[in-house]
């Protein structure tokens, strides 16, 4: 019997990559206006190459970017980019349309709800509060709580321990075939692949279930 649903955060509850791309566009435009001599297309390309290298949550991405393209950090340009990035990101931070009604129904069913995210602790909590969904969750486990990224078994063990439940009593829903689905299956948790949030075309996720919208989760519990 399912007693809890464990959610990945980015691209599962929120269209994170859409927001990331829009925020980067705003940051690049602001840095160019502040004096950065580079085309918007080239700047965007370099930034996402750096994200691939350092991770999508890397905190000093603009510093690395300026070191790469300018060989130094110009703080006039850096600050312009950071302000534009933060301002636009906070304005766009909304959950997918069906998230809140689905969370309400799950709580009405008496289920525990948890977050298991690779995001830093503060960023994860800020996103949850800005989306006005923090109070739905009984447990929130982030990278800072274990210093291990999914699919390591450590984060999954931590969330199960905090829920006080066995793997067979939980569902894990996420958009990453490797981090979320593979990691949860190795932990013995029933898996749900969020096809709607996947950034790559995955023909075989290996999940127990696949859904095209988060509201479909209600039919699985």
Q: Which residue, 145, 153, 199, is CA-closest to 172?
A: 153
pLDDT for 197 = 86
114 pairs with which residues across the strands? 6, 139
> What is the structure's pLDDT at 95?
92
- Residues (pLDDT < 70) of the chain are none
| CATH code, 4-15+94-220 | 3.40.50.1000
Q: Which long-range contacts (CB under 8 A, 24 or more apart) does 158-166 make?
A: 159/6, 159/114, 159/116, 160/187, 160/189, 162/114, 163/4, 163/6, 163/112, 163/114, 163/138, 163/139, 165/3, 165/4, 165/112
* CA gap 179, 152 in Å, rounded: 8
Integer CA distances (angstroms), 93 to 20, 48, 56, 174, 183, in order: 10, 20, 16, 19, 27
Residues ≥6 apart with Cβ < 8 Å to 45: none
pTM, full prediction: 0.82
pLDDT score at 208: 96
Alpha helices in 93-152 (DSSP H): 99-108, 121-130, 143-146
Per-residue pLDDT, 86: 87
pLDDT at res. 56: 80
| Domain residue limits, the chain | 4-15+94-220, 17-92
The answer to whether 199 and 17 have CB atoms below 8 angstroms apart is: yes
pLDDT tens figures, 118-166? 999 998 998 899 899 999 999 999 999 999 999 999 999 999 999 999 9
Q: Which CATH number fits domain 17-92: 3.50.50.60, 1.10.287.1770, 3.60.70.12, 1.10.150.520?
A: 1.10.150.520
């Amino acid at each position: 019997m399912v007693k809890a649903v464990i959610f990945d955060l980015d691209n599962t509850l929120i269209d994170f990559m859409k927001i990331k791309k829009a925020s980067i566009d705003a940051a690049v435009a602001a840095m160019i206006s502040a004096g950065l001599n580079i085309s918007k297309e080239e700047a965007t390309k370099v930034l996402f190459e750096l994200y691939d290298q350092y991770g999508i949550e890397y905190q000093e991405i603009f510093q690395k970017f300026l070191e790469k393209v300018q060989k130094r950090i110009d703080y006039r340009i850096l600050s312009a980019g950071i302000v534009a990035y933060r301002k636009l990101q906070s304005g766009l931070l909304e959950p997918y349309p069906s998230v809140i009604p689905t969370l309400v129904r799950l709580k009405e069913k008496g289920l525990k709800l948890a977050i298991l995210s690779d995001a830093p602790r503060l960023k994860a909590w800020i996103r949850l509060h800005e989306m006005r969904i923090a109070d739905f969750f009984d447990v929130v486990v982030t990278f800072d709580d274990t210093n291990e990224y999914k699919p390591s078994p450590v984060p999954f063990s931590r969330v199960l321990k905090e829920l006080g439940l066995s793997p067979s009593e939980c569902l894990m829903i996420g958009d990453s075939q490797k981090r979320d689905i593979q990691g949860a299956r190795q932990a013995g948790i029933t898996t749900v692949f969020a096809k709607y949030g996947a950034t790559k075309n995955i023909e075989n996720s290996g999940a127990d279930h696949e859904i095209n919208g988060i509201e479909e989760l209600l039919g699985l519990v």
